[in-house]
Structure 1
């Protein structure tokens, strides 16, 4: 009998996929993985943004809103009216100043807490982080109610403390009668709620600073501010800039704190861009003008977002 021939599977080399296909599949895989997220964002955020831009070029009134008819096309008339309004630029300047002050105070206080977290004992650190997380989790409505009680003209704790320790009479003092004092209270609300995120994030960055590097600097005579400025801070600077840009973007769009602190009826002296857009749209019923203000706000926010994304990319290149 003739011996059996060897199986074809033992002699035929396995079929290999072309290198080009593997390369294409490898490059396409990340995009396929994030495609559902991108589609969801376009559906949830992209369509309302597109609709708002279209509305800003129309002249929507209550007549079209109630009848369900298409509003007439107005072109750039809404933008011409908004951009030629002196009060609009006052609100823009006020919003920019508010965002810069809030972000600066938030970063300063958050950095201070982060440095303190690194120096205290582990159980104290755990308690502090728990308190920070509780503050961060507190809803805006609760925080606004607490600060409204603290700054109340008749029963506020702030007036009582100032009267007790300064000897002046603060009974009945209304902090919101003067916009400067009122914004000081609102800034305190915003900063108080934003410190936990900054403090915990920067503390995480500080834990990544090599102890050997700081120890070597101490051997060379660096202490205190000098050590932090020339050794510690350069190590956390990329993340610090990212968090600062993100905080500025959040504070630029502040709305809830002002709306709640003023009981849903903010005076014109307390208008920021978010409040101004809402009032124009739903209080004055100038829907297209409110949409135009919102579009300009988004364009201004893109400037801060560009800084944020640029730093993110630079951080990735460094790593």
Structure 2
């Protein structure tokens, strides 16, 4: 009788591997189960626990207090110690039955959509241009965008406000003296709501482009050059190469950046508030951020202001969840 040593049998290793692959998940070899436990276990949860605790302490508790306040009558008297009264859904009913809220909401959504579209379009063009520039010009452009991005929003708004000033602004001077447009002599850009949001949009887009452009440029550097060259040899034009090859590579990054821009532009506050203080009409130029401020802090109705803040937070969370689901679907394809 002859015995065959499995160590010498060339079929044995593949057979063993086949048994491992075909074995049910509940009957994995002992070594595989040990490696599986070692790869996961409680380590990820232990590492995340400190961050979750800090996040809950810094963000969670204020959010809970905000939700509680939204169900209370909380005015200036309560700020100085008077007990708040529970009013149930009254604050939310007041918000949803107020036509001013819907005007502010529509204005905020349209303004944010316009800013996001322009920001993403210009950022994509700048990112594509950065891939074509030589090292020196790319460095100059990078430094310039970093300076624009590093400038505080309030400082940038004040500078742009001076540029669009009625009497001494350089924009009116150029339009009148260089282009002969006399209708812009002593023109007030902030009185009219349409021109007000034009100025605000320039400031917001100008400050948002650097982040979007840098992020998209980082994604573009990961696109394989050989794939683009092969498409070029096949006769694909620049737009076709971007649409069919480049954009699918950077689409997840593009969607994440667009999601962040939507969230930032919907809750924009500093630029709108500063321009209103310079000369804009508050009632005609309020967005969600400034409307919450005018209702709660300036108006003293913290209960209704809390309801507005909760509604805005739910809106932003809904948009975020939608975009996250879209990104996850793209990764599964």
TM over 0.5: yes
Alpha-carbon displacement from aligned partner over 1:33-52 (angstroms, at most 9, x marks no partner): 01111111111111111100
Alignment partner, residue 308 of structure 2: 293
CA drift at 1:217: 0.4
Alignment partner, residue 144 of structure 1: 157
Partners of 1:224 and 1:24 in 2: CA distance: 49
RMSD: 2.1
Q: TM-score, normalised by structure 1?
A: 0.90
Partners of 1:249 and 1:278 in 2: CA distance: 18
Q: TM-score, normalised by structure 2?
A: 0.86
CA drift at 1:307: 2.5
Q: Secondary structure at the match of 1:175?
A: coil
Alpha-carbon displacement from aligned partner over 1:99-147 (angstroms, at most 9, x marks no partner): 1111101000101110110111111111111111111111011101111
CA drift at 1:24: 7.2
Alignment partner, residue 100 of structure 1: 113
Q: Is the 8 A contact 2:148 2:207 kept in 1?
A: yes
**Please, which runs of 5 or more residues in structure 1 have no aligned partner?**
1-15
- Match among 162, 179, 201 for residue 166 of structure 1: 179
Alignment partner, residue 118 of structure 1: 131
| Aligned pairs (5 A) from 1:21-36 | 23=37, 26-36=40-50
Alpha-carbon displacement from aligned partner over 1:261-318 (angstroms, at most 9, x marks no partner): 2227851111111111111011111110111011100011112111332244345546
Partners of 1:255 and 1:285 in 2: CA distance: 18
Q: Secondary structure at the match of 1:166?
A: coil
- Match among 210, 215, 218 for residue 201 of structure 1: 215
Alignment partner, residue 6 of structure 1: none
- Match among 262, 277, 280 for residue 248 of structure 1: 262
| Aligned pairs (5 A) from 1:166-245 | 166-169=179-182, 170-245=184-259
Partners of 1:246 and 1:252 in 2: CA distance: 10
Partners of 1:24 and 1:108 in 2: CA distance: 46
Alpha-carbon displacement from aligned partner over 1:183-233 (angstroms, at most 9, x marks no partner): 000000000000000100001111000000000001100122122112211
Partners of 1:124 and 1:20 in 2: CA distance: 54
Aligned residues: 302
Q: Is the 8 A contact 1:57 1:77 kept in 2?
A: yes
Alignment partner, residue 8 of structure 1: none
| Aligned pairs (5 A) from 1:31-110 | 31-67=45-81, 69-110=82-123
| Aligned pairs (5 A) from 1:264-279 | 267-279=282-294
After superposing the two structures, state which structure 1 stretch, 116-125 or 258-267, moved more. Answer: 258-267
**Please, which runs of 5 or more residues in structure 2 have no aligned partner?**
1-29
Q: Is the 8 A contact 2:193 2:281 kept in 1?
A: no
Q: Is the 8 A contact 2:191 2:281 kept in 1?
A: no
After superposing the two structures, state which structure 1 stretch, 203-212 or 298-307, moved more. Answer: 298-307
